[in-house]
Amino acid sequence: MSAVGSKPKGNRLFLKKSVAQIQKEAAKSELKRTLGKWNLMSLGIGAIIGAGIFVLTGQVAAANAGPAIMLSFVVAGIACGLAGLCYAELASTMPVSGSAYTYAYGTLGEVFAWIMGWLLVLEYGVAASTVAVGWSGYVVSILSDFGISQQIFPVIQYAGGEGPQWATPLVQLVQDAGATSFPMTGTFNLVAAIGIASVCGLLVLGVSESANINNAIVIIKIIVLLTFIAVGIGYVNPENWVPFIPEPTGVAGQFGVGGIFRGAAIIFFAYVGFEAVSTAAAEAKNPSKDVPFGILGALFVCTLIYMAVAAVMTGVVPYLELASPAPVAVAIDRMSLGWADTPIILASGEPLNLISFMIKIGAITGLSSVMLVLCYGQTRIFYTMARDGLLPRAFAVIHPKFRTPWIGTILLGLLIAIAAAFLPISILGDLVSLGTATAFSIVCLSVIFLRIKHPDMPRPFKVPGGIFTAVLGILACLFLASQNLIPMFQHAAEDNPLPLMLLGGYAVVGAIIYAAYGFWNSKLAKGIDITEETTMSSPAEAMGTGVDNQKD
């Protein structure tokens, strides 16, 4: 290994941080360690239970899997479980912020670390924008029940559709007779932007304060979902589960076994939250034990809840009727819970139904906690990348009082809020799932590398089955990623090249940022950190190396 300040050896793009250096960074972290194992598990549940339950479940059932969406959750849960075991081993060994990005830096090299960091922007930033749009829809819905939204959010018309003013993105996605268009709506989603700004404000104040609020929200939405399950069981019609696996239509991914796998690939989006637990390792009280508990506990609890909610939902409502942005509300309305009506009369003239009201409140609070955790994860990834010199230093500045990366949190909050306010986020759902599955496979590969390169390294938590389990994780995650990537190529060839163009453009932008900034400012390449020796071959010679005198 090379000492601090000496010229690193190795191919410039594949320079690695040593495990010793990563562990040293964990010991010297400026972030405050306040999170216990239950906080971490709650953090994971807070991110996982959200858009998947309140939005995606019904859409996947109606378009892809039918009642067999329960099996889609099993497939996605198994893939996430294999990746989660790998995350747990790496987090127990390298308990630092940055999670998968840092793991890739310490095992596969800088270029893989950058790719991972850029994939995680899809996983967190874009996903947070998507969730914010769903959150705004539920907020407007509940305000509409009380006759408030008509004055604040009057319905406006645009080419191909309509939507509430100040709660509809500036650019809208409209599909009509196989054609896709992007009309300008003349408004923007101010409600979604306010939601993102609010959670980022909490994150600036401190992670322990944010965690306490998240814990309360998690309790609320679990109570709401358990209430939905308990009440809904009595209204299940088993005939709605027949056929359990609908006959395929001939279109790829529509029902049949292919629909189950396509559904699993789509709802993979719903599991992104568990990765956020590993980003919190630098703020965990006992990361080597608490982080594995948080990751695996959150996955287990959420998969059980997902399957139970999906079973009730498809049992109460025929699956073809669940193509709604609020499928849980559709199921509640179908139950006709007259016994839960209150004397309060809504703007529609109907009485306020207490259970329906609880579901909408649960959706709003649930999606709030998802935004909180996704924004948290994104800021910690950028904090670590900026500390390594791959992004501007502003993202790594710690507030003297709150001990949080406050400038980076504000900047990222602005970017995510702008995306939620102006862009047609819905089309990016496949990109989020694709980026997440790819990132998870790289994490599994990192475990394999460390098992071979450092077999004697202390591992407080070990993946059962070792390398074999990690290989299964790679295969499972790449398979689900392909279920999102293949349809992009099919659409590009037949009718709509936009998804593939967005993916290609996103990759190009990431490459430009690394080439223009990260490549030249990498602290590792300058010899600031301890590096693992490989065979140096190029551009670092021209860049020069040496000690960075800037205070870290």
Per-residue pLDDT tens over the stretch 71-109? 998 898 889 889 888 888 887 777 665 567 888 888 888
Q: Find out whether 125 and 141 touch, Cβ atoms under 8 Å.
A: no
Closest CA to 119 of 375, 381, 298, 369: 381
Torsion angle (degrees, nearest 10) of CA 18, 20, 25, 28: -160
> What pLDDT shows up at residue 475?
95
> What pLDDT shows up at residue 428?
63
- Give exposure, 383-402, as e/b (b: 16+ Cβ within 10 Å): bbbbbbbbbbeebbebeeeb
> What pLDDT shows up at residue 297?
87
Across the range 332-336, mean pLDDT stands at: 83
Q: Find out whether 536 and 9 touch, Cβ atoms under 8 Å.
A: yes
**Residue found by looking up tokens 């309060």 in the block:** 344
Model confidence at 6: pLDDT above 80? no
Handedness of CA 42, 48, 54, 57 (dihedral sign): negative
C-alpha dist (Å) from residue 373 to 137, 207, 396: 20, 10, 18
Model confidence at 530: pLDDT above 50? no
* 4: confidence class by pLDDT, cuts 50, 70, 90: very low
Per-residue pLDDT tens over the stretch 253-282? 889 999 999 888 888 877 776 776 776 766
**Mean pLDDT in the chain?**
79
Q: Find out whether 483 and 267 touch, Cβ atoms under 8 Å.
A: no
> What pLDDT shows up at residue 9?
54
> What pLDDT shows up at residue 193?
93
As a whole number of angstroms, the distance between CA 98 and CA 115 comes to: 13
C-alpha dist (Å) from residue 174 to 138, 159, 162, 252, 423: 21, 8, 10, 22, 13
Q: Find out whether 390 and 521 touch, Cβ atoms under 8 Å.
A: yes
Model confidence at 549: pLDDT above 70? no
DSSP 436-497: HHHHHHHHHHHHHHHHHH-TTS--SS--TTTHHHHHHHHHHHHHHHHHHHHHHHHHHHHT--
Rg value, the chain, Cα: 23
> What pLDDT shows up at residue 71?
93
> What pLDDT shows up at residue 26?
59
Across the range 214-220, mean pLDDT stands at: 77
pTM here?
0.77
**Residue found by looking up tokens 């970017």 in the block:** 415
Pairing of strands 16-17, 531-532: antiparallel
> What pLDDT shows up at residue 543?
29
Model confidence at 236: pLDDT above 90? yes
